[in-house]
Amino acid sequence: MNWLSFVDGCRSSFDGGRENSLFPLVEAMDKVYQLAPEKSPFPRSKTNNESIGLYDRCFFVCHRAFLSSATAVGSSLPEDGEAISRRALEAAKTCLAIKADSANGEVWLNAQARANRWKQRGQGGMPKQLRLKYGRVETESLYQELQAEIGALSDFSVHFTPEYFSRYTWEETPRPEGGVKGSFGLSEGAIELGFLMLSKHHKLIIRVFDRCQDGKMLRNPDVKDAFDRVHALDEHFRQLLGPTLDAMIFGEVR
């Protein structure tokens, strides 16, 4: 494996995937991202005593993350797509926290604490993990859903955990000069599962931004129709691919 052959392999996977029946699911979610800010503009929010388009910017970040993740999954790199999705979920979580209490914007910025961490790194130190304590989020059910998905992605694909390591099917070939040449591949259904997980995460993100607008986003008929289209395709493909995905998840695919 070298860089250019790796790139060629990814391109080949993506081009071959144009015949993949899950590509319309990606296009449907992309349509929601395109329609929502046009049909239901975001209000301005206050952070650090300045009125900025925080929701707009975070929504853009999430849309871009969606496109990047979908490209990774379509290129046979679903685990890399999941890592990108985690950051999008964090962006949505930040917006929801600020919606719950505008003071949480200052918690997220926490400029002094972040400056201290960089100072410690510059001095060769190891700063402690920065844990943000948002207020008044306990009653936000979507916040708990976000936390659960972020935690699952951390264990399953973002960090180097046994769960991440065991996702691959490994092969070892003896080298003539000694030692072995290692390679790995994805289990059957991994790409399809990657697309469905992508849909699950970004449906949650859209619901979060709808909550930030007090339900205005999904009350717009055009946005709601587009979102319902995503949900219908998602349910269709989950039923269609259910046996394969269940076998993969429970380790029954050989």
> What confidence score (pLDDT) does residue 115 get?
66
Residue 37 confidence class, pLDDT cut points 50, 70, 90: very high
Most confident of 24-28, 48-52, 125-129, 153-157: 24-28
CB 74 within 8 A of CB 96: no
What are the tens digits of pLDDT across the range 49-106?
444 588 999 999 999 999 999 999 999 999 899 999 999 999 999 999 999 998 998 8
Q: Residues 6 or more apart from 100 whose CB is under 8 A from it? A: 134, 135, 136, 137, 139, 140, 143
Per-residue model confidence (pLDDT) at position 111: 52
Check residue 119 and give its pLDDT: 73
Phi and psi at residue 80, to the nearest 5°: -75, -35
Give yes or no for residue 27 having a pLDDT over 50.
yes
**pLDDT value at residue 169:** 83
Mean pLDDT of 12-24: 88
Write out the E strands in the chain: 45-47, 50-52, 168-174, 180-186
- Cβ(156)–Cβ(38) below 8 Å: no
The predicted-structure confidence for 94-108, as pLDDT tens digits, reads as follows 999 999 998 998 888
Residue 174 has pLDDT above 70, yes or no: yes
Give which of 73, 35, 42, 34 is closest to 58, Cα–Cα.
Answer: 42
Q: Are 55 and 45 in contact (CB under 8 A)?
A: yes
Q: Report helix, strand and coil shares of the chain as percent, to nearest 5.
A: 70, 10, 25
C-alpha distances (whole Å) from 235 to each of 70, 86, 240 are 18, 22, 9
Angle separating helix axes 23-39 and 190-212, nearest 10 degrees: 10
Residue 253 pLDDT class (50, 70, 90 cuts): very low
Is the residue at 254 inside a domain? no
30 falls within a domain: yes
Spatial contact of 72 and 78, defined as CB atoms under 8 Å apart: yes
Can you tell me the distance from the alpha carbon of 209 to that of 62, in angstroms, rounded to the nearest whole number? 10
Evaluate if residue 252 carries a pLDDT over 50: no
Dig out the tokens for 174 from the structure.
Answer: 């003896």
Helix (H, G, I), strand (E, B) or coil at 198: helix
Q: How confident is the model at residue 171 (pLDDT cuts 50, 70, 90)?
A: confident
* Adjacent-strand bridge partners of 173: 181
Asked if residue 52 is part of any domain, the answer here is yes
Total of domains in the chain: 1
- Provide the domain limits for residue 166: 3-249
**How does pLDDT run across 221-247, given as a tens digit for each residue?**
999 999 999 999 999 999 988 777 766
CA dihedral angle for residue 122, residue 128, residue 129, residue 130, rounded to 10 degrees: -80
Q: What pLDDT score does 109 carry?
A: 81
Q: What is the pLDDT of residue 38?
A: 95
Cα–Cα distance for residue pair 29/24, rounded to 1 Å: 9
The predicted-structure confidence for 187-228, as pLDDT tens digits, reads as follows 878 899 999 999 999 999 999 999 999 999 999 999 999 999
Residue 51: per-residue pLDDT:
41
